[in-house]
């Protein structure tokens, strides 16, 4: 059936209101306009950030919307002027765009891109500042420029990475967010050196990817902290060498780490989104050089604090988005690394469900022992 140039009606999970169950709706997906790509999403995973926006705590959260940003699919059609992908190409949507021509892309200092961010932040496409999704004529906002909880989505051409067609989409969908974020936080943002000591707060997929990256970088001690003890056994397989459950300690957790590491760790990573833990992560770093990287996303209104003395005495506070990876250039490289078995992906997938079961998938996410849930969008 020819779908190019036609409106496609397909199933999508619509978040009508914050915190209310998602509803599988028949959604109309308009054809891609200039500089846009319509993608048939085959598999999408759930990331904690989807749950965060759904909760209503994201200042950029708009409703009704179609959430989802960790996925893989096949290009169905392209709009005018799109040259880098064509129908049939296997792709990973990238919430962090890469246009290669804006001030950010050309700076050589960041992976952030400014080309479409203003539009993606308000749930529309840049071309006409409108949505390509509707339900019975009512527009539905896009989310993070990806909206992958839909059988078809429309993204900007700067927000899609073409990947090896032999890569299993049901696995490499994870390379759309969590795994690259953790690996890149270590390799690109912190630049952990061999022999370093590392503390990771939060052992979800992002924290475990930090552990995997730290092990690959040659870290000598990788201390994993989580309040869910079920994470500890799993974490060993990702390189965590020591475990701490903060609930088992009365002393501030930063003190516990300082005491067991001869003055603090070289690098710490906050992979939860909790501002009190962010403070502890900074303060468990070694005086003079310890660097703490904020990976977790904290709710609207939350702010970080510490004594400035912590920074005066040489600790460094940093943050990372998508692990500092340039999306369109480096996601294909990460897929190749997976194909060569140089990075893990399958090991992060604990559950496989269908798009129709998305509410159950969100419940699972909040249960102990769950890492990534992958949804088959067409079953």
Ligand X SMILES: N[C@@H](CCC(=O)N[C@@H](CSC=O)C(=O)NCC(=O)O)C(=O)O
92 binds ligand NAI (CB under 6 A): no
Please choose which of Zn ion, ligand NAI, ligand X, none residue 102 contacts, taking the beta carbon within 5 to 8 angstroms, the exact cut-off set by kind: Zn ion
Measured from the CB atom, is 27 or 208 closer to ligand NAI? 208
Which residue is it, tokens 């779908």?
3
**Cα distances (angstroms) measured from residue 109 to each of 26, 106, 113, 325:** 43, 8, 11, 11
CA distance linking residue 57 with residue 48, whole number of Å: 12
What is the rounded end-to-end Cα distance, in angstroms, of the chain?
19
**Is residue 177 a contact residue for ligand X (CB under 6 A)?**
yes
Query: Which helix H or strand E contains 155, and what residues bound it?
Result: strand 152-156
Q: Which residues bind Zn ion (CB under 5 A)?
A: 47, 49, 99, 102, 105, 113, 115, 177
227 binds, among ligand X, Zn ion, ligand NAI, none (CB under 5 to 8 A by kind): ligand NAI
| Strand pairing class (291-294; 316-319) | parallel
Q: Characterize the bridge pairing of strands 8-14 and 23-29.
A: antiparallel
Torsion of CA 167, 172, 173, 178, to 10 degrees: -160
Binding test (CB under 6 A) with ligand NAI, winner from 64, 68, 264, 273: 273
For the segment 338-367, give every residue that binds ligand NAI (CB under 6 A): none
Of 57, 90, 115, 231, the residue at the interface with ligand NAI (CB under 6 A) is: 231
Which of 117-125, 161-169, 261-269, 318-326 is the region at the interface with ligand NAI (rule: CB under 6 A)? 318-326
CB of 30 to ligand NAI, least distance (A): 29
Which 10-49 residues touch ligand NAI, going by CB under 6 A?
A: 47-49
DSSP H stretches of helix in the chain: 48-54, 103-107, 117-120, 169-172, 178-184, 205-216, 230-236, 253-260, 275-283, 309-312, 327-339, 358-365
Euclidean distance between CA atoms 176 and 199, whole angstroms: 25
Q: Is 259 in the site for ligand X (CB under 6 A)?
A: no
102 is a contact residue toward ligand X (CB under 6 A)? no
Does 93 contact ligand NAI by CB under 6 A?
A: no
The answer to whether 199 touches 226, Cβ cutoff 8 Å, is no
Tell me which residues in 142-181 interact with ligand NAI (CB under 6 A).
177-178, 181
124 CB-near residues (< 8 Å, 6+ apart): 130, 131, 141, 142
Task: State the minimum distance, in angstroms, from the CB of residue 366 to ligand NAI.
Answer: 8
What is the binding site for ligand NAI (CB under 6 A)?
47-49, 52, 177-178, 181, 201-207, 225-228, 231, 246, 271-274, 277, 295-297, 320-322
The catalytic residues are 47-49, 69-70, 99, 102, 105, 113, 117, 177, 372
């Amino acid at each position: 059936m020819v779908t190019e140039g036609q409106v496609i009606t397909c199933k999508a999970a619509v978040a009508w209101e914050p915190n209310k169950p998602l509803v599988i709706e028949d959604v109309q997906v308009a054809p891609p306009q200039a500089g846009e790509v319509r993608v048939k999403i085959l598999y999408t995973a759930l990331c904690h950030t989807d749950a965060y926006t759904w909760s209503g705590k994201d200042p950029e959260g708009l409703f009704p919307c179609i959430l989802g940003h960790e996925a893989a699919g096949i290009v169905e059609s392209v709009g005018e002027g799109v040259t880098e992908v064509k129908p049939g190409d296997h792709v990973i949507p990238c919430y962090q765009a890469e246009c290669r021509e804006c001030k950010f892309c050309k700076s050589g200092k960041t992976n952030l891109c400014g080309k479409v961010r203003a539009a993606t932040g308000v749930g529309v496409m840049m071309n006409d500042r409108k949505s390509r999704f509707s339900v019975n004529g009512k527009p539905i906002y896009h989310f993070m420029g990806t909206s992958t909880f839909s059988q078809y989505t429309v993204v900007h051409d700067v927000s899609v990475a073409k990947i090896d067609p032999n890569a299993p989409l049901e696995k490499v969908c994870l390379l759309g967010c969590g795994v690259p974020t953790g690996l890149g936080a270590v390799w690109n943002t912190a630049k952990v050196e061999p022999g370093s000591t590392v503390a990771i707060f939060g052992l979800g997929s992002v924290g475990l990817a930090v552990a995997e990256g730290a092990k690959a970088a040659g870290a000598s001690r990788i201390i994993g902290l989580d309040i869910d003890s079920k994470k500890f056994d799993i974490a060993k397989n990702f390189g965590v060498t020591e475990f701490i459950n903060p609930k088992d300690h009365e002393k501030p957790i930063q003190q516990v780490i300082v005491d067991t590491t001869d003055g603090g760790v070289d690098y710490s990573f906050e992979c939860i989104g909790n501002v009190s833990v962010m403070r502890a992560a900074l303060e468990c770093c070694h005086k003079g050089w310890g660097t703490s990287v904020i990976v977790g996303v904290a709710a609207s209104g939350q702010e970080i604090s510490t004594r400035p003395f912590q920074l005066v005495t040489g600790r460094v506070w940093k943050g990372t988005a998508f692990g500092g990876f340039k999306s369109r250039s480096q996601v294909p490289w990460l897929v190749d690394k997976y194909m060569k078995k140089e990075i893990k992906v399958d090991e992060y997938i604990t559950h496989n469900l269908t798009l129709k079961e998305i509410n159950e998938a969100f419940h699972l996410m909040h249960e102990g022992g769950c890492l990534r849930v992958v949804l088959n969008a067409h079953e």
